Chain A
Amino acid sequence: MPALIRFDQVSVTAHNKTILSDVSFSLFPGEHAVLCGKSGSGKSSVLKTLLGLNTVSSGTVYFQETPLTPSSVQSIRSCAAYIGQEPMLGAESVREALLLPFQYKTHHDHRPTEAQLIEVLDRLQLPTAILSRASSRISGGEKQRVALARGLLLGKQLYLLDEVTSALDAESKRAVLDVFSDPQLTVLSVAHDPEWMGHCGIIFELEAGQLIQVKRNGNP
């Protein structure tokens, strides 16, 4: 089975500072991995590099075994959902935020129905009434779940999650973990939370931009 994501000796430099140095790893479809390490160790940079938001100085990033280039970046961006600690909803109301990507040409023909909207909110334990609330008035945890709902509506298969569980209460966290128990979904996350890490089969440990340890199912 080909890897979904593969970093081949990837280094990233920005503002004359090395952010990632010679990082190599693979992630296969359906796998759940977590990147851990001290702050500034380059965890979030792995996610951003994958999305083509950082310029790779050497090495190659592969997505579905295709090297990441300006012409192929659109394919990873359309397959992956990136959700940060305080996700940007990019619209006035929650409803507008959920429907935002369907204004873009790529998703124009896949606009979800009202029933689909409600179903996905329900899956993430969000009330239907949240649809009419202002994006700026909802909590960080709700924002994360709305962003996650948006990813699910887009039918995304790959989730890049940056510290998503930190703002969630126990119940919401359970809902999020339930969503990701789906074996169809591949997850590459950044987290400190032991419960979350326990649910991830693969642990990548980073230090000062280098990948120092990979644990698969608890084994180094």
Chain B
Amino acid sequence: METLDIALPKMAFLYGLCLLPGLMLWLIGLRINRDIGISILRMSIQLTLVGIYLKTLFNLNNPYLNGLWILMMLVVADLSILRRAGLKARYFALATFTAITFSILFSTAYLVILVIQPTHFYDARYIVPLAGMILGNCLQGNVIALERFYSAIRKNEDEYATFLTLGATRWEAVRPYFRDAIKAAINPTIASMGTMGLVSLPGMMTGQILGGSEPWLAVKYQIAIMLCIFTSTTIASIINLKLSLNIAFNAFDVLKDEVVQEP
């Protein structure tokens, strides 16, 4: 069963759909059509480039090229996590990279090599979208973990100092904030697993069904990807935060000012 193609003229026709919300926004006096136009244009260009890139990647299906693509995604994710968490990449880039690389490779390898078992484990059709999806979610979790943790330490500076002066080691003093941050990082994944299928059809499943897969197969892949997202987010945020502790604090266990970005 093939998915029906959308021919170019029909694609152009599709953009016409946005004229109605555009008109309505204009009528209520919300002049944001320029921003919307730019966003739609960016989406179109970016996805076209990804399309070209993925097509090449799939055609060549070269293990090194696939590996390079994953490496590039990891580097971009690394920098994006730190920027969004308000931490300086100069100090934390290696720690975050180590954490996400380990967790992504572990969960993707587990899924692809041990469970799906394609003819070639490096098959771009499997590892590129699966690693990408796991990484995308893992990124969110790591941003939340780092951001929560370091803003809690700064906001509760006095409380943290009190723990230290009550005889806590650095690890004992940060532990309450550490646990809260990890909980906040994995909560969205837990909540989304708990309501999956009730609130909306998950994106990957929808995609697979449109792509012609049996609903059963789509369900199995959806479960697989959710378990991998949960695993990698948890592992990555714990390792990431733990590694960052050695970088962010001075020898007296006080948070260094220079490691966080000025707001």
A residues in contact (CB < 8 Å) with B: 14-15, 48, 51-53, 55, 69-70, 73-74, 77-78, 80-82, 84, 87-88, 90, 100-101, 103-107, 150, 154
Decide if A51 touches B161 in the complex (CB within 8 Å): yes
Question: What's the Cα separation between A154 and B168 when bound, in Å?
Answer: 13
B250 at the interface (CB under 8 A from A): yes
* Whole-angstrom distance between the Cβ of A15 and the nearest chain B Cβ: 7
For B250, list chain A residues within 8 Å (CB): 55, 70
Known: A84-B158, A88-B158, A90-B159. A104 touches B254 (CB 8 A): no
For B251, list chain A residues within 8 Å (CB): 69-70
For A51, list chain B residues within 8 Å (CB): 161, 164-165
Question: What's the Cα separation between A55 and B161 when bound, in Å?
Answer: 14
| A108 nearest CB neighbor, chain B only | B167
Decide if A104 touches B252 in the complex (CB within 8 Å): no
| A101 nearest CB neighbor, chain B only | B166
Looking at the complex, which one of B164, B166, B169, B254 makes contact with A100 (CB distance below 8 Å)? B166
For A53, list chain B residues within 8 Å (CB): 161, 164, 252, 254
Looking at the complex, which one of A48, A55, A101 makes contact with B167 (CB distance below 8 Å)? A101
Binary contact readout B49-92 vs A (1 if CB under 8 angstroms, 0 otherwise): 00000000000000000000000000000000000000000000
Binary contact readout B131-154 vs A (1 if CB under 8 angstroms, 0 otherwise): 000000000000000000000000
Question: What's the Cα separation between A100 and B162 when bound, in Å?
Answer: 11
Question: What's the Cα separation between A55 and B257 when bound, in Å?
Answer: 11
Decide if B158 touches A55 in the complex (CB within 8 Å): no
For A106, list chain B residues within 8 Å (CB): 167
For B163, list chain A residues within 8 Å (CB): 90, 100
Question: What's the Cα separation between A55 and B208 when bound, in Å?
Answer: 58
* Whole-angstrom distance between the Cβ of B47 and the nearest chain A Cβ: 45
Decide if B169 touches A105 in the complex (CB within 8 Å): yes
For B156, list chain A residues within 8 Å (CB): 88
Known: A88-B158, A88-B162. A78 touches B252 (CB 8 A): no
For B159, list chain A residues within 8 Å (CB): 88, 90
For A14, list chain B residues within 8 Å (CB): 257
Decide if B254 touches A52 in the complex (CB within 8 Å): yes
* Whole-angstrom distance between the Cβ of B41 and the nearest chain A Cβ: 43
Known: A87-B162, A90-B159, A90-B163. A52 touches B252 (CB 8 A): yes
Decide if A104 touches B167 in the complex (CB within 8 Å): yes
Decide if A77 touches B165 in the complex (CB within 8 Å): yes
Question: What's the Cα separation between A216 and B82 when bound, in Å?
Answer: 53
| Top 10 closest pairs, chain A to chain B, by CB | A70-B251, A101-B166, A52-B252, A88-B159, A88-B162, A106-B167, A82-B165, A104-B168, A78-B167, A104-B167
